[in-house]
Amino acid sequence: MEGLFVPIGFFLAIFAILYVYWTTRTKERLALVEKGMDAGIFKADPVRRRLDLVKWGIFLIALGVGVVVGYALSNAINEVVAFFTAILVCGGVGLIAAYFVIKHLAKNEE
């Protein structure tokens, strides 16, 4: 029975965070509309959204590669150390690679 409280608490916390985020965002938009200002500042730029998807895609692929590398290294060194190190290093390399790819794509779109 005690093992059931952790998943329930986790999902309740996620729900609470999302609820507060959405209600606050709605209140901010309503306040802008009441003042006569444009609430379009909350809409994401389509180019920016596409570049964010590229960044997340490269990052998640790098994390997957990190899991595979961690599995390969788990025979040579401690399993936990191998997985965490490989995932963090590959994730960092993925973010650096994503930076250069996004920089190149942004330069080509100009």
Q: Output the six-digit token pair for 100.
A: 């250069």
| Residue 62, Cβ density class (10 Å: 0-12 exposed, 13-18 middle, ≥19 buried) | buried
Nearest residue to 63 via CA among 98, 25, 30: 98
pLDDT for the residue 66:
93
Q: How many domains are there within the chain?
A: 2
Containing domain of residue 54, as a range?
A: 44-110
pLDDT for the residue 110:
67
User: What is the CB neighbour count within 10 angstroms for residue 100?
Assistant: 10
Is 24 in the same domain as 52? no
**Signed CA dihedral, 32, 33, 37, 42: sign only:** positive
Is 54 in the same domain as 37? no
Helix (H, G, I), strand (E, B) or coil at 48: helix
Mean pLDDT by 10 residues, the chain (110 residues): 82 96 90 82 77 91 93 88 92 94 84
pLDDT for the residue 38:
78
